[in-house]
Structure 1
Amino acid sequence: MKHAARTALVLAGAGAGAAALRRLASPPTDPRRGERWMVVTIDRPPMDVLPEGRPPRPLDEFGDALEITVRPAPGDRGTELAARLRGGVSPARTSLPSRLAGKDPRQEVRRALREAKSLLETGEVMRSDAPPTAREETIGGRIVGLASRRSGGEGVL
């Protein structure tokens, strides 16, 4: 019975992985996908988010390449800081291969938004330590280490 349970688990994992790859590899149904706003909620009043009308340092480094808006978050829960690249991004630059290679320009905008949130809320950019499971001497450790390093561009594993 143990062998059957392992086989079922492996097949379920393979099916879930195939579904995720199919979703990522399929062409976007929304032609304006590259024009979407990326948003973070910051636990500060709006006047603290854009002091003197300038965005926080990580976003200011983009110069005029970004459109930035600030608005109160729903339910009086801080401020929403939104950014998007001016002119949008071509579908080829947002494709799965571009994302996996770290060449999707939206990844840098997401990183800058996360860093701006961290700076405004804590005064520093918080970085996580390598997970203890990421020992390179095991296959599982290599996979976790690789996923952890790649998550910096997207903000998620």
Structure 2
Amino acid sequence: MRRAVVTIAVGGAAGVAAVAAARRMRQARVTDDRWHSITVNREREEVGPQPQPLHDLGETIQVRVRPAPGGRGTEIAARCVDAGPEGVRALRRALRETRTLVETGEILLPDSPPTTRRTPLGAPLAYATRHGRQEGRL
């Protein structure tokens, strides 16, 4: 019994440290103004000049739509113009939504409500699910 309590305490402390480190890295990384791009499996004519999720961001972004290298669909690239970390997160979310909308016809979302009970150990997974479309690889 004692070993289990120590394991949970060490695991919880490691999880808290990992979340804090990830936040620091994310805050340092999302303040740039670089181009973020996705490739969709559709022809240039099917995508249009600016897909709806990107169009909703308005004048805060610049968008380039061009054929992908090697004839592999269409490349959509976008970057924020004078927007902080929240603008970059919104852009990354819009790019992910654009990909699913263009390729499937709808914006795919995780199960809601989730199929499990809320527990303290499940909190990191719940956080990742809520914010997963704003960070990580496109």
TM-score by length of 1: 0.64
Gaps of 5+ in 2: none
- CA displacement 1:69-120 (0-9 Å, x = unmatched): 0122222211110111124x4xxx43xxxxxxxxx21111111111111111
| Alignment root-mean-square deviation, CA | 3.2
Compared CA separation, residues 128 and 21, structure 1 to 2 (3 A)? closer
Compared CA separation, residues 126 and 155, structure 1 to 2 (3 A)? farther
Deviation at 1:25, TM superposition (A): 7.0
Compared CA separation, residues 18 and 127, structure 1 to 2 (3 A)? closer
Partner of 2:98: 116
Aligned-partner SS, 1:121: helix
Q: Across the two proteins, how many residue pairs are aligned to each other?
A: 127
TM-score by length of 2: 0.71
CA distance in structure 2 between the partners assigned to 1:112 and 1:26 by the alignment: 19
**Paired residues of 1:41 and 1:73 also in contact (CA < 8 A):** yes
More contact order relative to length (CA 8 Å, sep ≥ 6): 2
CA distance in structure 2 between the partners assigned to 1:27 and 1:155 by the alignment: 14
CA distance in structure 2 between the partners assigned to 1:145 and 1:18 by the alignment: 13
Gaps of 5+ in 1: 95-103
- CA displacement 1:96-147 (0-9 Å, x = unmatched): xxxxxxxx21111111111111111111111111554x421x2222332232
